[in-house]
Amino acid sequence: MEMAKRNFSDIVRRSGEVLKVSESGQDVLLQRRDGADLMLVPAEREEGIRDSLRTAASLLLAGLEGDAARKALTAKAPGTLPWLRLLPVEWHAQFLREFAETAQAAVDTGAFGALGQLERSWNVTARLYAEPAMREWLLEPIEIKPEYGHRRLRELKKVGVGRQPKAVASTRPGKTGRRRLGSQAQPA
């Protein structure tokens, strides 16, 4: 169903007309000039969407627990999200787990922006990973120090601080890791 669009001022000037559209089951996008647009939807519908998202996230997490189900889910995911094909296959399960966990948190807190941000971050990571020069940058070892943040090891080496480590998969403070925008942790 197409979303109805109205100016935000219509909710004050023509509230009856706007409410009729909303009560007919159609979502109403209230467009504002000086701020973010707002949506007018029935509360029951919104609650249903949130409950459904919580259930879907729980089912996805449960599916990721078993080896056979995890393999099936990660094999099907690129068909739904084609940009996943640009990432290593072993990262697909990590994305699905993070997405499901973030979806559960979003439903519980109402912070749905975090879910969109997570997907955008992984999408950008996939686009960067597809470019050989950017892939090298993403996989470059970094040193993680809570007091200083992430620093490239080659920059530290140039100024004589630190040495090139052999381990590159840890993201614990004081250890080394790999840079990745979609997730701050390397998949297990």
Tokens 């519908």 belong to residue: 45
Rounded Cα–Cα distance for residues 171 and 5 (Å): 46
Interval 89-97 mean pLDDT: 92
Note the pLDDT tens digit of each residue in 151-181: 555 555 554 444 433 333 434 444 445 555 5
CB atoms within 10 A of CB 157: 12
pLDDT of 100 strictly over 80 = yes
Rounded Cα–Cα distance for residues 136 and 5 (Å): 45
Note the pLDDT tens digit of each residue in 15-44: 899 889 888 888 899 999 988 999 988 888
Residue 20 C-alpha from the chain's centroid: 35
Share of the chain above pLDDT 90, in %: 39
